[in-house]
A and B are shown apart, each in its own frame.
Chain A
Amino acid sequence: MQYMKPSTATEASDILARNEGAARILGGGTDLLVQMRSGMIEPEMIVDIKHLDGITDITAEDGGLRIGAAVSGQRLGEHEGARAMWPGVVEACELIGSTQIQGRCTMAGNLCNGGPAADSVPAMIAAAAVARIEGPKGARDCPVEEFVTGPGKTVLGKGEFVSSIFLPARPKAASDAYLRFIPRTEMDIAVASAGVNIVLADDGTIKSARVALGAVGPKVVLVADAADAIIGSKLEDPAITALVRACEAAASPIDDKRGTVEFRTTVVGVLAKRAARIAMDRAQENATGEKT
């Protein structure tokens, strides 16, 4: 097995293109190493991207934040700006794995894994995050909701890899939240999850919203109907009921060892409702500067 440590994106892309199928990218490695140890994969080459410029940095850009692909959950969680602007994304990323895993795991890796239960992904989609992809033809951007095409499958082509995630700027009176259901309190995989991002109008009603659901289909879904259900409301009961119904309708889960169709469908609505309320409280706090 070969270990490669490219120092530029072009070099990394080149190596990946030349070794398509044989090479695997090492960022945090928290999925890669587990898959190797368990015998699921036996890559001939490991391409360590942690030494590329800016890949471990969080930088301000156009009022938003660019999160390097090798920024760990721990680093993101310690970033005051990220916590203030996108608390839902940060709390989602911090749910990945254990304390030890947090020292290594990355949002980009969580995304590239292509799993429907990836914790950071519903939050990123709700946040309208954009993945920056480097490849043989240079850089391109892809909205996170378009990145995963099916379980374990992504838009990444030959020689391509994710170099950063961009979290866009947002107005002051806005916030987000992420909740997942797991049978225990940590060290688990979401049985259902929901990320909710809202922006308030001056009158305190919801001006715009994005709702994304995880683990209730082959990939994370952005549910426009769920957002529409709460836009214009202050999360009064009818809006909440409509939100729950829209989420239940958008869920297409399977029965498996982690949960039943019935359970996932019910719980994803509950999570969306609760996440919306948390996001609302946070947005109101941001708008008024006071705890609600």
Chain B
Amino acid sequence: MNFQSNTKANFKVVGTRVPRPDGVDKVTGRALYGADFNVPGMQVGLILRSPHAHATINSIDTSKATALPGVKAVVTSADLGVPEDESLRDVQDNCLARGKVLYDGHAVAAVAAKDMATAKAALKLIKVDYTPLPHVTDVDAAMKLDAPVVQEARADESVPEGCGPNVTHYCEFGHGDLESGFGMADLILERSFTTAATHQGYIEPHACVASYGTDDKADLWCTTQGQYFVRDLCSGILGIEGSQLRVTASEIGGGFGGKTTVFIEPVALALSRKAGRPVKIVMSRVDVFRATGPTVSSSMDVRIGMTKDGRITAAEAKLRYQGGAFPCGTVDMGAQAAFAAYDLKAVRTQGWNALTNRPKEAAYRAPGAPMAIYAVESVVDELCQQLDLDPLDVRILNAADAGTKSSYGPTFDQIGLMATLEAAKEHDHYHAPLGENQGRGLSCGFWFNFGGNTSVSLAINSDGTVSVTEGNPDIGGSRASISMMAAEELGVAYEKVRTIITDTSSLGQNDVTDGSRVTFAVGLATIKAARAAIRVMCGRVAKIWGIDEDAVVWEDGAAKPSGPNAGDFEPMTLADIAAISSETGGPIAGHHEVNAEGAGVSFGVHLADVEVDPETGATKVLRYTVFQDAGKAVHPDYVEGQMQGGAAQGIGWALNEEYIYGDDGRLQNAGFLDYRIPVASDLPNIDTVILEIPNPGHPYGVRGVGETPIVPPLAALSNAVSRAIGVRLHELPMSPPKILKAVMAKG
């Protein structure tokens, strides 16, 4: 394969498996997570939550709680203003309910007290007078014209006439003539699917310490994927200037998108402001499940036409997502991603978002894509079964490639889909024999990836070492990758570089760690910051040597004369230059600020073998292989970790994970016992095959890898289970009772 590339090819550091910089801290317990931070005088903050799925708050009486000795502050939404900006108002209202509670677990009030026992006692003394209202938690029920209204008049301008009152958003993508496309098909299948809401399942609960001064300067320490976004939201909600609120991100114990907004941070700040003391809030696991963001649940219809030889002639999807009690646009991403893997002449996707009485969804690894692609890949698989076609050959026949006009509009540049499909086809996994009650499934996956606002500073220390300062919490190994790219560019050893993640006052804006953006965008900015430092070093050397700056080049970690004409000088290494920097003009540093573009889309293909126990409906994953284009794998261990982690989460989503609501609209499984993420013994070793089709938008060809791997497992597992038991399920999770029922119904 000959891929056009303007990117670097010969690497010394990038592509190696150096020791991870956070490893020792994490295994020895030295790493400081959100709940590990403490300051003198700190009070315990606790939040009172709604026992109702939907209710009007008639009154909140905090007088007894306030009067309890040891209580320093009690806050409700009345202690905050009403932001003009609608999206900020939604964030605030999710943190402390205003007027109505919109879901079971919605925060209503909070206390700060000298200790946990006092805080608990104070919560019990808060009297909230509710009038329960009819509720709705199911997306199809919520779409109806006569559904209970979660919030009045929240439809945006996209919503057409005739939709139910909970529909807040509509979108449509595609091109070509569907009817003539379906007319050319030999077989058209239309199927409907549902998927349950799933939680990101990060092990570390949300935690923060807020310290608000009497001069309206505040500090906040919290576990988050984006301290700058936390600053922007909290300063907006508290009505203070961004410069006066410094937010520092702790080490993070998993986020997966779920820590890209705020839940407790504005509450802790409001409590601290009122109490005049620092306040710490740590969420319980129950609260994390009830009141932070799972992903959307969905109801979908997919219709695909195919010729006898496997060519897709037309494809259409209707996606209905609910993202809880506040508007969200996740369905846009599902509608764009649904058919991204295919080169289609006629395609249309439509998406609707509906409000329900559930917690506001938060981003979860490729938000919106896994469910849409699950539905599409299930129908493609069934078409292959009915037409007796090889499912990999059909994907290869229809695969999007460079120059394909994508189903959501843009024309693809260099992409790795065909290479991953071909790698899967060549892999022995695809050809291994299967036994009784076993099945093999495959699915393509896709994610857009993102660049975004990024600011990096890189200091050349006088001892010849390098300090990189960046602003994106490390949720997937980015500190290692950033140090590696700095070392690569500067020509120094990886061990000479340390990358730290700084607070909001120390660098320009950095967008949230999301969109698989960090290794791409922060890496790009780091490379450019290193190049800026190199220019400074070459300038210093030019002065020492008394030659033009242009006559000095940087090679292998040292400044050298550009050629014989430039003069005969011994190369000066980075360490040589750094040691005398105070005599040549002072400290040496480089920095780079950019709103990075060219992230480069990401494709993956997963193969899954399962065995289903026909007497119990239990599914065992026997073998699993992930094929994915990483552009350039900076640190292959971490890339493989992302591929394995995404697959593990997707397998959980496919088999057991779900938010279960009772008729009363309350969440029934707010804990890891009955919200079943896979445990280690549930999974086989997940094999990985990294492909490297360089991204033209990055100096080293890097593409983000973090999100794509959660996309294919849903359909890969469903296709495998369907082939194992000889009957297709159309809903997730495929928990044992559902599989057993399908097996018994088949007879």
Residues 136-192 (chain A) with a chain B CB within 8 angstroms: 181, 183-189, 191
Contact of A267 among B655, B672, B740 (CB under 8 A): B740
Are B735 and A262 interface neighbours, CB within 8 A?
Answer: no
> Is B5 interfacial (CB 8 A cutoff)?
no
Shortest Cβ distance from residue B93 to the other chain A in the assembled complex, whole angstroms: 27
Are A184 and B673 interface neighbours, CB within 8 A?
Answer: no
Q: Which residues of B contact A189 (CB under 8 A)?
A: 673
Are A270 and B616 interface neighbours, CB within 8 A?
Answer: yes
Stretch at the interface among B221-229, B419-427, B675-683: B675-683
Instruction: Closest A residue to B681 by CB, please name it.
Output: A185
> Is A83 interfacial (CB 8 A cutoff)?
no
Query: When A263-B617, A263-B736, A270-B615 are in contact, do A258 and B674 touch as well, CB less than 8 Å?
Result: yes
Interface flags for A235-260 (1: CB within 8 Å of B; 0: not) read 00000000000000000000001111
Instruction: Closest A residue to B669 by CB, please name it.
Output: A257
Are A183 and B656 interface neighbours, CB within 8 A?
Answer: yes
Interface flags for B606-617 (1: CB within 8 Å of A; 0: not) read 000000000111
Are B741 and A262 interface neighbours, CB within 8 A?
Answer: yes
In the bound complex, CA of A259 to CA of B674 (Å): 11
Interface residues on B, range: 20 to 34
Instruction: Closest B residue to A270 by CB, please name it.
Output: B615
In the bound complex, CA of A184 to CA of B652 (Å): 10
Instruction: Closest B residue to A267 by CB, please name it.
Output: B616
Residues 186-214 (chain A) with a chain B CB within 8 angstroms: 186-189, 191
> Is A266 interfacial (CB 8 A cutoff)?
yes
Query: When A257-B668, A257-B669, A267-B740 are in contact, do A181 and B616 touch as well, CB less than 8 Å?
Result: yes
Are A183 and B735 interface neighbours, CB within 8 A?
Answer: yes
User: How many pairs of A and B residues are in contact by the CB < 8 Å rule?
Assistant: 54
Q: Which residues of B contact A39 (CB under 8 A)?
A: 120
In the bound complex, CA of A262 to CA of B617 (Å): 12
Are B617 and A186 interface neighbours, CB within 8 A?
Answer: no
Interface flags for B52-80 (1: CB within 8 Å of A; 0: not) read 00000000000000000000000000000
Are B679 and A185 interface neighbours, CB within 8 A?
Answer: yes
Query: When A257-B660, A257-B669 are in contact, do A181 and B736 touch as well, CB less than 8 Å?
Result: yes
Query: When A189-B673, A257-B674 are in contact, do A184 and B740 touch as well, CB less than 8 Å?
Result: no
Are B681 and A266 interface neighbours, CB within 8 A?
Answer: no
> Is B547 interfacial (CB 8 A cutoff)?
no
Shortest Cβ distance from residue A119 to the other chain B in the assembled complex, whole angstroms: 14
> Is B240 interfacial (CB 8 A cutoff)?
no
Contact of B682 among A184, A191, A258, A270 (CB under 8 A): A184
Interface flags for A261-273 (1: CB within 8 Å of B; 0: not) read 0110011001000
Shortest Cβ distance from residue B667 to the other chain A in the assembled complex, whole angstroms: 10
A contact patch SS: loop
Contact of A186 among B681, B737, B744 (CB under 8 A): B681
> Is B618 interfacial (CB 8 A cutoff)?
yes
Query: When A266-B744, A270-B616 are in contact, do A260 and B656 touch as well, CB less than 8 Å?
Result: no
Query: When A263-B736, A270-B616 are in contact, do A183 and B676 touch as well, CB less than 8 Å?
Result: yes
Q: Which residues of A contact B617 (CB under 8 A)?
A: 263
Q: Which residues of A contact B744 (CB under 8 A)?
A: 266
Interface flags for A89-111 (1: CB within 8 Å of B; 0: not) read 00000000000000000000000
Contact of B618 among A183, A186, A260, A266 (CB under 8 A): A183
Query: When A181-B618, A183-B618, A183-B735 are in contact, do A266 and B679 touch as well, CB less than 8 Å?
Result: no
Are A184 and B660 interface neighbours, CB within 8 A?
Answer: no
Among B616, B660, B668, B673, the most chain A Cβ lie within 10 Å of the Cβ of B616
Are B676 and A266 interface neighbours, CB within 8 A?
Answer: no
Query: When A263-B736, A267-B740 are in contact, do A188 and B673 touch as well, CB less than 8 Å?
Result: yes
Q: Which residues of B contact A258 (CB under 8 A)?
A: 674
Shortest Cβ distance from residue B172 to the other chain A in the assembled complex, whole angstroms: 37
Contact of B678 among A38, A184, A257, A267 (CB under 8 A): A184
In the bound complex, CA of A185 to CA of B680 (Å): 9
Query: When A257-B669, A262-B741, A263-B740 are in contact, do A187 and B616 touch as well, CB less than 8 Å?
Result: no
Query: When A257-B660, A258-B674, A270-B616 are in contact, do A184 and B741 touch as well, CB less than 8 Å?
Result: no
Are B679 and A263 interface neighbours, CB within 8 A?
Answer: no
Shortest Cβ distance from residue B104 to the other chain A in the assembled complex, whole angstroms: 14
Among B615, B618, B737, the most chain A Cβ lie within 10 Å of the Cβ of B737
Shortest Cβ distance from residue A223 to the other chain B in the assembled complex, whole angstroms: 19
Among B615, B660, B682, the most chain A Cβ lie within 10 Å of the Cβ of B615
Q: Which residues of B contact A191 (CB under 8 A)?
A: 736
Shortest Cβ distance from residue B63 to the other chain A in the assembled complex, whole angstroms: 24
Interface flags for B6-30 (1: CB within 8 Å of A; 0: not) read 0000000000000000000000000
Are B681 and A183 interface neighbours, CB within 8 A?
Answer: no
Shortest Cβ distance from residue B746 to the other chain A in the assembled complex, whole angstroms: 14
Are A259 and B682 interface neighbours, CB within 8 A?
Answer: no
Residues 710-747 (chain B) with a chain A CB within 8 angstroms: 735-737, 740-741, 744
Instruction: Closest A residue to B656 by CB, please name it.
Output: A183
Instruction: Closest A residue to B613 by CB, please name it.
Output: A270
Instruction: Closest B residue to A191 by CB, please name it.
Output: B736
A-B contact pairs, 13 of them (CB 8 A): A181-B616, A183-B736, A184-B679, A186-B679, A187-B679, A188-B673, A188-B676, A257-B674, A259-B736, A260-B741, A263-B617, A266-B615, A267-B740
- B-side residues, CB < 8 A to A, are 120, 286, 615-618, 655-656, 660, 668-669, 672-674, 676, 678-679, 681-682, 735-737, 740-741, 744
- A-side residues, CB < 8 A to B, are 38-39, 181, 183-189, 191, 257-260, 262-263, 266-267, 270
19 new A-B pairs (CB below 8 Å) besides A183-B656, A183-B676? A38-B286, A39-B120, A181-B618, A181-B736, A183-B618, A184-B679, A184-B681, A185-B679, A185-B682, A186-B681, A188-B673, A189-B673, A257-B668, A259-B737, A262-B737, A266-B615, A266-B740, A267-B740, A270-B616
